[in-house]
Amino acid sequence: MDYSKSIAFMRDRFVPFVDAHVSIASSPVLYGLSIYTVFSLSWNEKEKKLYAFRLKDHFRRLVSSARIMDFNSFAETWDYDRFEKMVHDLVKKNNIAEDALVRVTVFVDALLAGTKIHGLPMALSAYVYPMGEIVPRSGINVCISSWRRNSDNAIPSRAKVNGGYANVALMKNEALVNGYDDAIALDENGAVTEGTVANIFIERGGILITPAVNFDLLEGITRDSIIRIAHDMGIEVLERAVTRSELYIAGEVFITGSSARITPILSIDRREIGTHGDGRIGPITTRLMEKYEDIQRAHIKDYPEWRLNIGV
């Protein structure tokens, strides 16, 4: 699909993507005063159906982000039913019959308003774009970033605030310039938080471990999905502090997110990951990758509450 020729939703109406604009003097442009969520659309070729993954949870997180940022009018004007209908109509108008992503943004719709938030008008935009690969799905080589993750008391990690992504953009840029695919962020105390745009899991002794949510990270919906799937597969999952050195000796490491899905990490700081340091994708990662994709595409009937038939 060519998203540049698609239909977008902007300020309560559908418009050509090229006409979905905000001003150079607007609050989101000048100060990053916007929040967003991204969710996946998965195409089931056999059924010829398109499924949105955990749409209601993405809406709830958008509402939570708005509450944290005091975007007070968003929840007053949008409820889930209206949100779901907008997504249905967006997919229908773009004739989506392939894997894709939908990015929904809520922004302060004001000009030259300074850094004020409370009481200002809000608007919502949404558009569809190809799934693609933000990092190679076959596995990535990453580094520990020299930049630190912004504290939840500085820019809230639980809110997907667009302005906060300057932090991870610095990390990603540093990684790419130095020949890596991505970076892992540490907090100010040196604890592992997440990747640049994805949560992180490690495996040690057959147990999955992921940083707890009080370590300046986003409470990812894919992260939550993997925890639940792993539990149901009989894999123990611990949410706790993870240190840098643990990454180097982990048997398996992978990141999770709506865009990244489940992506294996092959090396960290040029140290190959794996029980024998061989950089191979481990068995738990492989099982979770296969299970997660089957769930998204409705190849299996597990977790039906996570899927919404949104298209053809």
**pLDDT tens per residue across all 312 residues of the chain:** 787 889 999 999 999 999 999 999 999 999 999 999 999 999 999 999 999 999 999 999 999 999 999 998 898 999 999 999 999 999 999 999 999 999 999 999 999 999 999 999 999 999 999 988 888 888 999 999 999 999 999 999 999 999 999 999 999 999 999 999 999 999 999 999 999 999 999 999 999 999 999 999 999 999 999 999 999 999 999 999 999 999 999 999 999 999 999 999 999 999 999 865 667 899 999 999 999 999 999 999 999 999 999 976
pTM of the model: 0.95
Domain layout of the chain by residue ranges: 3-130, 140-296
Residue partners of 115: CB distance under 8 A and separation at least 6: 31, 33
Same fold, 3-130 and 140-296: no
Residue partners of 285: CB distance under 8 A and separation at least 6: 203, 252, 254, 262, 264
Q: What is the DSSP letter of 114?
A: T
Q: What is the DSSP letter of 111?
A: B
Fold observed for domain 140-296: D-amino Acid Aminotransferase; Chain A, domain 2 (3.20.10)
CATH number of this structure's domain 3-130: 3.30.470.10
Question: Cα–Cα distance between 103 and 94 in angstroms, integer?
Answer: 14
